[in-house]
């Protein structure tokens, strides 16, 4: 079926096919890559915020100078302040020492895993981003907190005494200027691709298609002069395709001029 199509149709189909492929590559490869980049930037920002928060906790602990009540009041105020989007969890040793409270124990396996590994974890949920950060003991912490294994033994530097958990809704992506830039760029790219293909098509039409059609008409006129009394339907050629028609005309012209 494609063989019977005109040269003009073939070239137009190829250009449209190239445009479609480029569009699909942009939509299903580059845009998802941008989404991944935005997620990485969110993870980086959340990690930086957690490190800053940990430094604040360490500063409070140092300023308390061994006064447990000061540190406890500061952490409790942070935990209860809704304007501070961070939840706190207690380690097993802290709960043994100061008691268990609803909402302060590890809530799931992800939080327990961070307690065990001591490594932060960035989780992408269906509707939010979550960052679980381990709060580790520094030298001043060892003077107040006791080990889980031995109630008479103090914790060591680097022990995970708690978790800081931050959550960000995925709707924040809609506020990201980069996402809007990429969407605008996508529309602009698609427009430019089709514009370039249109210009290329017009160029090919002027340079190739129109000259071929003119040459085809010239061959037809030459054949018409050779056998005016023959069936003029013969001049229609064997197909609608310009190339095959010209091949037919050339063969006929060669045969008649022998």
Domain that holds residue 162: 37-171
As beta bridge partners, residue 169 has 128
| Listed residues 143, 171, 199: the one ending a domain | 171
| Listed residues 149, 171, 193: the one ending a domain | 171
- Cβ pair 245, 216 in contact under 8 A: yes
Q: What value does the mean pLDDT of the chain take?
A: 76
- Residues 202 and 78 grouped into a single domain: no
Least-confidence region, from 119-133, 143-157, 171-185, 225-239: 225-239
- Residues 166 and 186 grouped into a single domain: no
Q: Is the pLDDT reported for residue 1 higher than 60?
A: no
CA distance 106 to 163: 9
Q: 175: number of CA atoms within 13 Å, CB side?
A: 6
- Residues 134 and 184 grouped into a single domain: no
Residue 56 lies in a domain: yes
pLDDT of 3: 44
Residue 151 lies in a domain: yes
- Residues 136 and 67 grouped into a single domain: yes
- Residues 138 and 197 grouped into a single domain: no
Question: Structurally, how many domains does the chain consist of?
Answer: 2
Q: Is the pLDDT reported for residue 16 higher than 60?
A: yes
- Residues 146 and 123 grouped into a single domain: yes
């Amino acid at each position: 079926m494609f063989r019977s199509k005109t040269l003009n149709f073939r070239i137009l189909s190829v250009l449209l096919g190239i445009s479609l492929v480029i569009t699909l590559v942009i939509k299903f490869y580059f845009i998802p890559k941008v989404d991944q980049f935005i997620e990485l930037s969110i993870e980086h920002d959340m990690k930086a915020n957690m490190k800053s928060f940990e430094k604040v906790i360490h500063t409070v602990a140092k300023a308390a100078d061994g006064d447990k009540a000061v540190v406890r009041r500061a952490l409790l105020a942070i935990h209860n302040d809704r304007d501070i989007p961070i939840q706190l969890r207690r380690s097993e040793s802290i709960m043994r020492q100061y008691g268990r409270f609803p909402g302060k124990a590890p809530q799931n396996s992800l939080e327990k895993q961070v307690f065990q590994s001591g490594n932060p974890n960035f989780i992408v949920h269906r509707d939010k981003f979550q960052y679980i950060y381990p709060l580790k003991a520094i030298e001043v912490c060892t003077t107040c907190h006791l080990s889980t294994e031995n109630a008479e033994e103090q914790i060591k530097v680097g022990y995970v005494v708690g978790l800081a958990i931050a959550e960000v809704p995925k709707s924040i992506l809609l506020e990201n200027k980069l996402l809007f830039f990429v969407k605008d760029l996508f529309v602009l790219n698609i427009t430019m691709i089709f514009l370039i293909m249109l210009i290329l098509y017009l160029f090919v039409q002027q340079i190739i298609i129109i000259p071929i059609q003119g040459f085809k008409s010239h061959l037809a006129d030459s054949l018409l002069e050779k056998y005016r009394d023959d069936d003029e339907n013969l001049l229609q050629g064997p197909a609608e395709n310009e190339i095959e028609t010209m091949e037919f005309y050339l063969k006929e012209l060669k045969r008649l001029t022998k």
